[in-house]
């Protein structure tokens, strides 16, 4: 299995290092053609509006949408979740591939970044909590019927999944806990048999 990591903007290299720890090869994706041969895609954190503009110039947004609709697994973190959301506030274009509504920067600006413990369900294995790094994090305001909540901060969903899509409002690549990356690999392998 080889994963692509959207490498237009944001801290995509930290995801590459996280997957390397699990023995999973990755490669950067900057064009639609570079999606060929990847078994899944990571949409990392960064600045969602900048990422959208850069994707549009290459037609990458349309190709990602097409492939995800055909079943390509995706791990989306922070801004990546915003890119996939059905609806975004303040209003912004998104791909609408995950049935959640999100509010950008709802947990504060850069200066309000935090590291806190979240509760996670048994599918992740291990202890029922994990450390989560929130940086200009979005808030999930609505979760669709086909979306599972895998992690919460208090009552608020912060880690969700729908089929082969796993999405977090935080940055799992910035901690030593690799359970979310492993969960994504397991779901991607299930898709590809």
Q: Which residues are catalytic?
A: 78, 171, 173
Residue 156 and residue 162 in contact, taking contact as beta carbons nearer than 8 Å: no
Query: Hey, how many other C-beta atoms are within 10 angstroms of the C-beta on 102?
Result: 25
Query: Measuring CA to CA, how many Å separate 7 from each of 35, 80, 91?
Result: 12, 12, 24
Torsion 35-186-172-141 (CA) sign: positive
Distance CA 83, CA 45 (A): 10
């Amino acid at each position: 299995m080889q994963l692509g990591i959207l490498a237009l903007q944001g801290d995509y290299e930290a995801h590459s290092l996280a997957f390397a720890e699990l023995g999973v090869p990755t490669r950067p994706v900057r064009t639609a053609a570079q999606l060929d041969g990847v078994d899944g895609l990571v949409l990392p954190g960064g600045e969602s509006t900048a990422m959208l503009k850069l994707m549009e110039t290459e037609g990458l947004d349309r190709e990602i949408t097409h492939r995800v609709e055909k079943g390509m697994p995706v791990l989306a973190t922070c801004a990546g979740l915003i890119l996939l959301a059905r609806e975004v506030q303040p209003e912004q274009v998104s791909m609408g591939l995950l049935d959640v509504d999100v509010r950008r920067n709802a947990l504060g600006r850069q200066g309000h970044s935090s590291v806190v413990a979240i509760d996670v369900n048994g599918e992740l294995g291990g202890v029922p909590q994990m450390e989560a790094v929130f940086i200009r994090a979005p808030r999930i305001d609505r979760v669709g019927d086909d979306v599972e909540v895998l992690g919460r901060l208090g009552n608020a969903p912060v880690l969700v999944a729908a089929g082969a899509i796993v999405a977090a409002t935080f940055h799992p690549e910035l901690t030593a806990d690799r359970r979310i990356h492993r969960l994504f690999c397991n779901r991607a392998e299930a898709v590809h048999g």
